[in-house]
Amino acid sequence: MLKVGITGGIGSGKTTVCQLFELLGIPVFYADTRAKYLMATDEVLINDIKAAFGNDMYPEDGLLDRRRLASIVFNDDLQLEKLNSVVHPAVFRDFAVWSARQKAPFVLKEAAILFESGSDKDCDYTIVVTSPLVLRIDRVMSRDNVSAEEIKKRMDKQLNDDEKIKLADFVLLNDEQQLLIPQVLALHKQLLGLNDHKR
C-alpha cells in the first residue's frame, strides 16, 4: 500500500484537499485528530504521558486534563518535545495498523507537522499544499474567529512554505487563482500510476 503524506501551513487548505481525495475514494488518516483520540484511549500512550508528566494528568474520572497539559507544553519547547516523543510513536503505530486495513490504491496521512515530526519518513511520497500568507491568515481568522497575531504565533512554530516545498515530492497551489480541483484530479491520476514504493 502506497503511503502519501500531506501537509501545509495553517490555513493552506490541506484538509480541503484531503476531503477532495476522500471524494475520490482515497482513505485519509488525520494524524492530529487521531493523536487527540489516542491520548484519550491508547493505554500505552496514556501510561507514557503519566510517566512523563505525572498521574494527575488523568484525574480520577480517567479523562485527560487537556488544559493542564496544554499549559505545561504551550510555552516550553522542552516539555513539548517530551510530549511529542511519546505521542509521535503512538501515532506511527496507529497509522501502521490503520493503513494495513485499507483497501485502496494509496492512502493519505495528513499532518500539520509532517516534516517537523519526522512523519514524512514513514511515507513513500509527500505533498505540500501552499497558499499566500495573507490568504491563509484571512481564512483562519474567519474560520476560527482568532486574531492575526494569534495565527502568526502559531505559524512561527511551523516550517515556512519554502522549506516545505523543498522537501516535498508534489506541490498543490491553493491560491484561489489556480483551480484546486483540477490540480487534485491530476495528482490523483499521477499517484495511481506510482505503485512502486519510492523509499
Task: Enumerate binding residues for ligand ATP (CB under 6 A).
Answer: 8, 10-16, 112, 139-140, 143, 174, 176, 180
Q: How far is the CB of 47 from ligand ATP (least distance, A)?
A: 29
Using the minimum distance from each CB to ligand ATP, give the nearer residue, 57 or 187.
187
Count of CB atoms within 10 A of residue 153's CB?
11
Count of CB atoms within 10 A of residue 169's CB?
17
In degrees rounded to 5, what are phi and psi of residue 171? Answer: -125, 130
Q: How far is the CB of 10 from ligand ATP (least distance, A)?
A: 4
Do residues 85 and 35 make contact, with C-beta atoms less than 8 angstroms apart?
no
Do residues 191 and 2 make contact, with C-beta atoms less than 8 angstroms apart?
yes
Per-residue DSSP letter, 30: E
Q: How far is the CB of 117 from ligand ATP (least distance, A)?
A: 14
- The rounded distance, in Å, linking the Cα atoms of 86 and 92 is 10
Which positions ≥6 away from 188 have C-beta within 8 Å? 21, 24, 26
Using the minimum distance from each CB to ligand ATP, give the nearer residue, 48 or 119.
119
Q: How far is the CB of 174 from ligand ATP (least distance, A)?
A: 5
Q: How far is the CB of 139 from ligand ATP (least distance, A)?
A: 3
Cell numbers linked to 185 = 484530479
Using the minimum distance from each CB to ligand ATP, give the nearer residue, 62 or 74.
74
Using the minimum distance from each CB to ligand ATP, give the nearer residue, 5 or 13.
13
Using the minimum distance from each CB to ligand ATP, give the nearer residue, 28 or 46.
28
